[in-house]
């Protein structure tokens, strides 16, 4: 059995398809673009958190995040500005 790896854009599109019924191709495409726009650093850190603590209690996940995570990403200030609307 073999599998083909997906790049970020195709993976985001597949995730968008699996998580909500689309109201048309444009909605699905917009959702996928938003996922791709996420920070790669944050995505990787979140995946490590899930791998390390999945199925465990919430406090174990919080403890792992404080003790084991890399901290803030290199794009932190840019992401905060975009979130607060101060990047315009």
| In a shared domain, residues 30 and 44 | no
* Tokens read off for 6: 């997906």
Domains in the chain, number = 2
Query: pLDDT band at residue 4, thresholds of 50, 70 and 90?
Result: low
Residue range of the domain that includes 32? 1-37
Query: pLDDT band at residue 38, thresholds of 50, 70 and 90?
Result: confident
* Tokens read off for 8: 């970020």
| In a shared domain, residues 29 and 54 | no
Query: pLDDT, tens digit, for every residue of 44-71?
Result: 887 888 888 888 999 998 898 889 887 7
- Mean predicted lDDT score pLDDT of the chain: 75
Give the model's pLDDT for residue 23. Answer: 62
Give the model's pLDDT for residue 1. Answer: 43
| In a shared domain, residues 18 and 54 | no
43 near 35, Cβ under 8 Å? no
């Amino acid at each position: 059995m073999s599998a083909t790896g997906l790049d970020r854009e195709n993976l985001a599109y597949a995730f968008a398809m699996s998580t909500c019924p689309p109201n048309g191709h444009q909605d699905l495409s917009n959702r996928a673009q938003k996922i791709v726009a996420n920070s790669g650093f944050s995505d990787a850190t979140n995946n490590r958190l899930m791998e390390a603590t999945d199925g465990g209690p919430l406090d174990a996940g919080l403890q792992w995040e404080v003790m084991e995570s890399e901290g803030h990403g290199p794009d932190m200030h840019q992401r905060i500005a975009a979130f607060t609307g101060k990047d315009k």
